[in-house]
A = this chain, B = another copy of it.
Amino acid sequence: MVGRSSRVTIHDVAKAAGVSVSTVSKALNDTGRMTAETRDKIKSIATGVGFRPNALARSLLFNRSFTVGLLTNDTYGRFTLPLMSGISEALVDQGVSVFLCAIEDDPKLAKIHVDAMLDKQVDGIIATGKRIDRSLPVDLAGLPVPVVYAYSQGTEGSVILTADDAQGAQLAISRLRSTGRRRLVHITGPESFASALERANAFQRTVGPDAKVLFGEWTEAWGHQSIAALFDAEGERPDGIFCGNDQIARGVVDALRERGLRVPEDVAVVGFDNWEIVAAQTRPALTTIDMNLKELGRIAGLTILDLAEGRPVAPGLRKLPCSLVVRQSCGSSDQGN
């Protein structure tokens, strides 16, 4: 039997308990004063009839909707999903729900979604994208609600959360070195990506100013091409490769294997992103850098809540640490040369 049982209001509880609505409200919210007996009786009746307060009514009263919006243009969800998961996790105990709006780089659509969220009185908006040096196609400055940018470019004076690319790169390099690798190369995406540049700079700062960096595409194919270039050429060959993302790393690992080189024995490889579906299916599975996007999401959620509740938050760019995920492509750190 499908049927929408209609909702029970505080009025119904009052009638059932033989008291007034105000008494019920006070009883359930543990406010006002009354005999413990009355309070308990009302509480048990309320649960008995299955009363749940209408959040809309409370929102109207408190001017707080216990709702935040997540705006994204990342269609693959590679960044959005872990972020979303972290946000949700941080906010669910506070009774806050998340509106997800996928706007696909369409300014008009973005505006429609933002307006809809504002109309619904969201307590704040978290903006996220697929790269940290591009902003969403909509201006979020001057909105009547707080905004937090997570893995996206933000406006002057706003709160921006991102992963610490340089630190992530260090992590990868340390790992390669601790397994005894000395001839390191960095294969990464286009130079036009701030995160590619950031990692590459960290790489050269750490390994040396003329450490080799190959900029290209974020694809497996680029991984293959790079290996061809590196190993067909004369001269010194790398024994450790730090890749700008897991797809490149996969291409690199496959290309090395096809050349009869063993990973990690002959060449160790570290990826970036910890994109499960790529990293875990690569043979050998990729040791890689995780940007901890879920944690980033958690912090974004808590931050937007702070802002919404009027607590002070320092504006500016905040970089959160990456961590190393050890699988097989980089050997074990106690392994000599």
Which A residues contact B (CB, under 8 angstroms)? 1-7, 52-57, 59-60, 65-67, 70, 75-77, 80-81, 84-85, 88, 92, 95, 97-102, 109, 112-113, 115-121, 141-146, 157-158, 219-221, 247, 254, 276-278, 281, 283, 315
For A120, what are the chain B residues with a Cβ–Cβ distance below 8 Å?
Answer: 55-56, 66-67, 97
For A88, what are the chain B residues with a Cβ–Cβ distance below 8 Å?
Answer: 100-102
Most buried by B among A3, A57, A60, A119: A119
Name 5 A/B residue pairs within 8 A (Cβ), A-sorted.
A3-B142, A56-B56, A88-B100, A92-B109, A98-B99
- Pairwise interchain contact B281-A219, C-beta atoms closer than 8 A: yes
- A144 with B84, Cβ < 8 A, contacts A76-B277, A118-B52, A247-B281 known: no
Chain B residue nearest to A115 (CB atoms) is B52
- A92 with B113, Cβ < 8 A, contacts A5-B142, A5-B144, A278-B277 known: yes
- A281 with B220, Cβ < 8 A, contacts A2-B158, A75-B85, A81-B81 known: yes
For A95, what are the chain B residues with a Cβ–Cβ distance below 8 Å?
Answer: 116, 119
- A75 with B67, Cβ < 8 A, contacts A54-B119, A115-B52 known: no
Chain B residue nearest to A275 (CB atoms) is B277
Q: Tell me, rounded to whole Å, the shortest Cβ–Cβ distance linking A309 to chain B.
A: 12
Q: Tell me, rounded to whole Å, the shortest Cβ–Cβ distance linking A21 to chain B.
A: 16
Chain B residue nearest to A219 (CB atoms) is B281
Closest 3 CB pairs of A and B: A100-B100, A55-B119, A77-B77
